[in-house]
Amino acid sequence: MYTVDLKKLVEKMKLVNYTPDLNIDDIKITQTDVNRPALQLAGFFDYFDSDRVQVIGNVEYAYMQKMEKDHGVGIMTRLLDYKVPCIVFCRDIEIEPDLVELATKKGVPLFRTEKPTSAFMAEVIRWLKVELAPRISIHGVLVDVYGEGVLIMGESGIGKSEAALELIKRGHRLVTDDVVEIKKVSDETLIGTAPDITRHFIELRGIGIIDVKTLFGVESVKNTQSIDLVIKLEEWNKEQEYDRLGLDEQYTEFLGNKVVCHQIPIRPGRNLAIIVESAAVNYRQKKMGYNAARELYNRVTNNLMKKE
């Protein structure tokens, strides 16, 4: 299970801390969803997920204002006893001193933000889904080619880094070399990043380590990129049949998500950078509704029908 420090959420969302006496360094967030405790304020705590960030908006605050003081204190005490990670008041709602004192006593941080409730919840959920996403690390090179994230895979020494370097010189951007950290942020989207220690570096056998950002400038690197296409490099085998039309898509799977995959045979004289560029452009064309292989197939079929 992955976690996010509450302190990181506070800094990211620029929250105002109303309980500065509490130490929040050890508080972790484990859930990607947040909760508006409307039912809990009404006294219904069945199925209450206390691990979520709790958000108070205008509706909850207005309900709290209509409660009798003793009843309101009892409900908030019961809510705080669940040791929720924190409570965030949206729309610059002023937090009453009595509630601040109670929360401090119970050890639950209180924060405030000026953002609208729905917008704040959407932003927090989106951010947490990335931070808490399932992830794996694989051996490969990830490059942004014409806006498409191309993951180049293959055995060590086959030429992945050299292909990436040529792509960088042709104006494309490096995301990571050697190790790719893949996060599953949704059932359709995989995001690739570089480990902090190797970010912006490429290893070239016989030369050593190259700092891409320093040599080619900041326009040649990128920190994150969705993985749209996988290219697997392999040694040329003259006895193996390779796909020459591309009518049927091949896929590979990461964390349950399928990604279009091409197997590219390598032999002396083949320009890997141009092949990767062509694969990326062809994939982009298919996303826009044009399939060159299908067009050729239709032309041949129509020509045969005319002859008959």
pLDDT band with cut points at 50, 70 and 90 for residue 269: low
Residue 84 and residue 215 in one domain? no
Examine residue 305 and state whether it is found in any structural domain, yes or no: no
For the annotated catalytic residues, the residue numbers are 139, 160, 178, 244
Q: Which residues of 47-72 are buried (b: 16+ CB within 10 A; e: fewer)?
A: ebebebbbbbbeebbeebeeeeeeeb
The token duo for 64 is: 């709290």
155 is in an annotated binding site: yes
Residue 101 and residue 150 in one domain? no
154 is in an annotated binding site: yes
Q: What is the CATH number of the domain that holds 257?
A: 3.40.50.300
pLDDT score at 186: 87
pLDDT digits (tens, 9 = 90+) for 211-226: 999 999 999 999 999 9
Beta bridge partners of 179: 139
pLDDT digits (tens, 9 = 90+) for 217-250: 999 999 999 999 999 998 887 777 777 777 778 8
Judge whether residue 191 has pLDDT over 80.
Answer: yes
160 is in an annotated binding site: yes
pLDDT digits (tens, 9 = 90+) for 128-172: 998 999 999 999 999 999 999 999 998 888 888 889 999 999 999
First and final CA of the chain: distance in angstroms? 64
Average pLDDT, the chain: 90
| pLDDT above 90 as % of the chain | 68
Residue 169 and residue 75 in one domain? no
How far are the Cα atoms of 115, 231, 274 from residue 283, in angstroms, in the given order? 39, 12, 14
Q: CB of 55 within 8 A of CB of 21?
A: no
Q: Which of 5, 225, 24 is nearest to 128 (CA)?
A: 5
Residue 100 and residue 151 in one domain? no
Examine residue 307 and state whether it is found in any structural domain, yes or no: no
Last residue of a domain, one of 131, 165, 187: 131
246 is in an annotated binding site: no
pTM: 0.79
Most distant CA atoms of the chain, gap in Å: 91
Mean pLDDT calculated for residue range 58-87: 92
Residue 153 and residue 194 in one domain? yes
**To which residue do tokens 């059932």 refer?**
187
From the CB of residue 252, how many other CB atoms can be counted at a distance below 10 Å? 15
| pLDDT above 70 as % of the chain | 99
Examine residue 253 and state whether it is found in any structural domain, yes or no: yes
Give the count of domains, the chain.
2
From the CB of residue 308, how many other CB atoms can be counted at a distance below 10 Å? 4
pLDDT score at 298: 82
Last residue of a domain, one of 96, 131, 166: 131
pLDDT score at 287: 87
74 is in an annotated binding site: no
Three-state SS annotation for the chain: CCCEEHHHHHHHHCCEECCCCCCCCCCEECCCCEECCHHHHCCCCCCCCCCCEEEECHHHHHHHHHCCHHHHHHHHHHHHCCCCCCEEECCCCCCCHHHHHHHHHHCCCEEECCCCHHHHHHHHHHHHHHHCCCEEEEECEEEEECCEEEEEEECCCCCHHHHHHHHHHCCCEEEECCEEEEEECCCCCEEEECCHHHCCEEEECCCEEEEHHHHHCHHHECCEEECCEEEEEEECCCCCCCCCCCCCCCEEEECCEEEEEEEEEECCCCCHHHHHHHHHHHHHHHHCCCCHHHHHHHHHHHHHHHHC
Q: Which of 64, 59, 49 is nearest to 90 (CA)?
A: 59
The token duo for 53 is: 């960030």
pLDDT score at 69: 87
Residue 266, domain extent:
135-298
156 is in an annotated binding site: yes
pLDDT score at 308: 63
Residue 82 and residue 149 in one domain? no
Residue 145 and residue 287 in one domain? yes
118 is in an annotated binding site: no
Contact residues for 137 (Cβ-Cβ < 8 A; gap 6+): 179, 180, 181, 182, 195
